[in-house]
Amino acid sequence: MKESQRALLRRRGLHLSRDLGQNFLTESQTAERLVAAAGVRRGDSVIEVGVGLGALTRALTEQGASVVGIEIDSGLVRALREEEGLLPAGVELLHADALDLDWPGLIGRLPAPVRVVANLPYSAATPLLRTLLDYRDRLADWSVMVQQELAARIVARPGGSDYGSLAALHALTVDVDRVLDLGPGQFFPAPRVHSSFLRVWPRATPLLEASELVWVERVLRTAFSQRRKTLLNALRSGGLGDGYSRDRIEAAIRQSGIDPRVRAEGLDPRQLLQLARALREPAALSAALD
């Protein structure tokens, strides 16, 4: 980190928090590489989560993007607003928690295309990535820095130890490119882990309807909740809800052309989607007959 930035933190009495996942980019050249990898162009509307000390923000504005920055730390917000030259002119800075943000309202008032580019706070990366899936039809894409371990879980393929509900849900809704990896030395304070920069964009041909997402996610989480168990036993004990007896679950598995003895990690996302649909259809039929 540049000494001027260290001095700024000391002068303002700011102490970075690991609980908030505050690991800031330190090199302007790295920020420029990330913006280029994100495909940001002049005139794009960009939502940046976790402004920090503005390294990525400056690179975005230099590329010609209109930036709305989200920062949860009140001390940093004051510094960004008060320290001359820290926040580029024209940037809209919101003091907010991205997990509580009115995403539809924010996206709706920005000129398209709207993108998210962020060095995500590690502590909130997983729920934020899930939130972005809800708005995939309203965003051009999102390019985010996350822990390397989380990136591996998102791009994992069937059969691997990292493959789980997160990878399957992303495969069904978006395409993901793991663009580059960065070591701890690119951040301050240096994290104990390596990081990966992901670019994510909506699938050109969606595999599931928006109305299916919540149910499919529930089935995926249940199927992977007890990885050592067979698919049938994991679904039985995972709590899909009233009315999901062993016979009903087994019938849905067989209807999907799946061996009940297989484990969820051995199934590709399309097979899991087919199973989720088979499990849901009888429920709709039962409700109609009651």
May I ask the CATH architecture of the domain 210-289?
Orthogonal Bundle (1.10)
Q: Residue 192 — very low, low, confident or very high, per pLDDT cuts 50/70/90?
A: confident
Contacts of 165 (CB under 8 A, 6+ apart): 217, 220, 221, 223, 224
Contact 224, 234 (CB under 8 A): yes
Token readout for 238 is 């995972």
Provide the b/e sequence for 35-57 (b: ≥16 CB within 10 Å): bebbebeeebbbbbbbbbbbbbb
Report residue 59's pLDDT band, with 50, 70 and 90 as the boundaries.
Answer: very high
Give the mean model confidence (pLDDT) for residues 204-229. Answer: 93
Residue with tokens 């990878």: 167
How many DSSP H helices and E strands does the chain contain?
Answer: 12, 9
Question: Topology of domain 3-202, per CATH?
Answer: Rossmann fold (3.40.50)
Tens digits of residue pLDDT in 140-180: 999 999 999 999 999 999 999 999 999 999 999 999 999 99
Considering the chain, tell me which residue range(s) the CATH 3.40.50.150 domain(s) occupy. 3-202
CATH 1.10.8.100 placement within the chain: 210-289
